A and B are shown apart, each in its own frame.
Chain A
Amino acid sequence: MTPTPLDRLARATPPSMARRVRGLSDRTIAWLFVAPTIALLLAINIFPLIWTVRLSFTNFAANKPNAEVKWVGLRNYERILTDDGIWATMQTTAHFLFWTLFFQVLIGFTLAWLINRKFKGNDLLTTLIVLPMMLSPAVVGNFWTFLYQPQIGLVNYMVELLTGTPASSFSMLGPGGLAPWSIVIVDTWMWTPFVMLICLAGLRSIPDYIYEAAEIDRASKWRQFWTITIPMVLPFLMLAVLFRGIENFKMFDMVTLLTGGGPGNETLLTSIDLKREAFEKWRTGYSSAYAIILFVTVFGLASIYVKALNKVKER
């Protein structure tokens, strides 16, 4: 009989170590293996979380080490939940989330569906389409700033060419209500390929015989699409939405480079606002409460969503 890797490992173990291990149960050995990981998780995940919860009930400011730390109860939470500015920031984030997910799913799925066919240059086209998601968000933010520049930017130039509206008469990142849409466009440009790739994986996982059976049953292409393609790709699509939703909820770098949250607060997302509160205004207690509220929101929404995803997968 060919020795298994475990057999080989057992034979290779020095006798002294084998004697020491022999007295331990499997369960103990298992715990020994996972203990470092658990310790690490406790140190870098759980402890900071508990510490943040504690800080959220105080007036602690990290830049005032000598100041007295006072227990303020729920005051930080009350101030956040009654702050119109923070609700406006939440709305801006919701707008960004909804429209980026909408466009990325729509365009990503369409691209995947088109590219799933066999044609010449398919591989090259796929590579070209996924290029944007390989770039750094910092690079993307910077070069889209130039593309949106009213006097020399390509976007304004194209608008002038197509509509006759003078290029210098409007600013994509400036006042006038275009800025929230401009950041949606950039994020969609960058991350649609990611959704496309996941959808493509979903489309390619559908066995051909299902379509062949549908053809035999004389099902139309439209019916095949709605009764085979969409249901079978849906779990993949939902997974893509989950990934992108979580990522965009904490969007910071690209939008900071594009608009810095402006003009005014038109593109002020919660992550940018939280960073300002925590590391520019140094309201550590207040920002801890802010972070906990966001954490609970994301955790709650993600839990509901994952349950829905599991139900879809079970169907």
Chain B
Amino acid sequence: MKAGYLAAASAMALVSAVAGRADADDLTLCWAAWDPANALVELSKDFEAQTGTKMNFEFVPWPNFADRMLNELNSGGKLCDLLIGDSQWIGGAAENGWYLKLNDFFAKESISMDDFAPATVYAYSTWPKGEPNYYALPAMGDANGWFYRKDWFARPEIQAAFKEKYGRDLAEPKTQTELLEIAQFFQGREIDGKTVYGASIFTERGSEGITMGATNALYAFGFKYENTPGKYDMEGAVNSPDAVAGLEFYKELYKTATPPGYDNAYMEQSLDAFKSGQVAMAMNWFAFFPGLYADPNVGGEHIDFFVNPAQKVPASTLGGQGISVVANTDNMDGALAYIKWFSQPDVQQKWWSMGGYSCHNAVLNDPGFKDSAPFAGDFLEAMANVQDFWQEPAYAQLLLAMQERLHNYVVADQGTAQEALDGLIKDWTEVFEDEGKL
């Protein structure tokens, strides 16, 4: 009798264990937890209907996304069959064999990278950079842009006060300097009986926030990573006078035109500050713009969008990701079938209509694209001038060094911009020496 119980219990345990695991034919797609991920869940229902494959999703909040996913890849985990990973991961993922190289698959299925926006192919798919070795299909174009309270800008009394102070109309800024002036103009101003502030920007210390925010200004001022691409000759590029001016600008923006206590803010805090009516302008990724436009309180007629203003050059910090097949997936055929399905122009069109930022030329070059959303034109303009952080295998070390140097200078008031950038070269040189690249 006891043996019978034991056998039954073992059988039940086995059945439970098997039932708890995803079926081998299922697909699990991993990404960050944000608005576009929800759109992708909806979009993927078409794939499920067409193929009968059940899709599972693993979405991780942005602050933990890199930690969680890089640990997963590094430990050879089998959680994800497909991964929409950050652009900066591609070097490490390619060199460590985490992502499947897709060239043969693309050739076999006649998927051409010429069908996608060149900047996105370069940034999201290739390693070494610019070489025709593809480890991802561009999935979600993105850049760091701006949005503002159009209704506040339009108020006659505010217009008059601005004109009196600056001698020009209050409008979307065309330069970083104008951006700063507008932000300072709104800082501490009373609107509808409430004190409001200039702008919410990225200052977060822990993951990538302040780097993604400050580079928006640095690139526009002329910051470069190297004098000669691929040579790692950073002296005079990273700490050029333009770069120093850009960093000083960002600090001034932080010190004079952001809400109080805004010393560790990233995407969520920026959205919160804008949605709660605290700030006149905010920076954030284009990915959030559809949701903002649909917001019942601050969206619609209350909001408008603009591309990161130029200073010396037009430039925006690149966001966005490509979709990759995790090399040790148990469902390689299913994962590749998803990539093939996702690459189709009609699926890409639907992706854009649901809130995802397609990188497919069929979508972006459509004559009606610019007018398809109030931020569509700005998105095109931004993507034409995007710049990305290092995509080296050692990107995490490079990023954390920049996070530390920038936060120390901008937020914690330590040292000068010149010292911060000189120190950054020292840190990065050490990393590249360890990597054997210098």
Contacts and interface: CB of A to CB of B under 8 A. Distances in A.
A66 B97 contact: yes
Contacts of B96: 63-66
Contacts of A264: 205, 404, 407-409, 411-414
A256 to B, nearest CB: 8
B400 A280 contact: yes
A77 to B, nearest CB: 16
Interface in B373-394: 393
Nearest to A64: B96
Given A65-B96, A66-B97, A173-B264, A266 B396 contact: no
Contacts of B206: 256, 260-262
B407 A262 contact: yes
B367 interface: no
B396 A265 contact: no
Contacts of B414: 264
A76 to B, nearest CB: 11
Interface string A135-164: 000000000000011110000000000000
B397 interface: yes
A233 B173 CA distance: 68
Given A65-B96, A66-B97, A265-B404, A260 B263 contact: no
B205 A63 contact: no
A283 B431 CA distance: 10
Given A63-B70, A262-B412, A174 B396 contact: no
Nearest to A262: B205
Q: Report which residue of B205, B400, B414, B434 has the largest number of chain A beta carbons within 10 angstroms of its beta carbon.
A: B205
A280 B400 CA distance: 8
| Count class of interface residues, chain A | 20 to 34
B297 interface: no
Nearest to A169: B260
Contact of B263 (A171, A256, A279): A171
B299 interface: no
Given A63-B74, A279-B67, A262 B263 contact: yes
A271 to B, nearest CB: 14
Contacts of A66: 95-97
Contacts of A174: 261, 263-264, 411
Contacts, number: 86
B71 interface: yes
A280 B67 contact: yes
B92 A63 contact: yes
Contacts of A231: none
Nearest to A148: B261
A165 interface: no
A259 B411 CA distance: 12
Contacts of A175: 263, 411-413
Contact of B407 (A64, A169, A263): A263
B97 A265 contact: no
Contacts of B95: 64, 66
A208 to B, nearest CB: 53
A282 interface: yes
A260 B205 contact: yes
Contact of B261 (A65, A150, A260, A261): A150
Contacts of A148: 261
Contacts of A169: 260
Nearest to A275: B67
Nearest to B401: A281
Interface in B215-269: 259-261, 263-264
Given A262-B205, A262-B407, A62 B260 contact: no
Contacts of B70: 63
B205 A151 contact: no
Contacts of B411: 174-175, 262-264
Interface string A225-247: 00000000000000000000000
Interface string A58-91: 0100111110000000000000000000000000
Contacts of B412: 175, 262-266
Contacts of B261: 148-151, 168, 171, 173-174
Nearest to B430: A79
A59 B434 CA distance: 9
Contacts of A223: none
Nearest to A166: B260
Contacts of B434: 59, 283
B396 A151 contact: no
B397 A62 contact: no
A64 to B, nearest CB: 6
B408 A281 contact: no
Interface in B194-210: 204-206
A145 to B, nearest CB: 9
A281 B205 contact: no
B397 A263 contact: no
A313 interface: no
A281 B404 CA distance: 13
Contacts of A262: 205-206, 263-264, 407, 411-412
Given A66-B96, A265-B412, A280-B67, 17 more contacts: A63-B74, A63-B96, A65-B96, A151-B261, A171-B261, A259-B205, A260-B206, A262-B205, A262-B264, A262-B411, A263-B407, A264-B408, A264-B412, A281-B396, A281-B400, A282-B74, A283-B434
17 contacts: A62-B74, A63-B96, A64-B96, A168-B260, A173-B263, A174-B411, A175-B263, A262-B206, A262-B411, A263-B263, A263-B407, A263-B412, A264-B407, A264-B414, A282-B396, A282-B397, A283-B397
Q: Which 10 A-B pairs have the closest CB atoms?
A: A264-B412, A150-B261, A264-B408, A174-B263, A260-B206, A262-B205, A168-B260, A150-B260, A263-B412, A171-B261
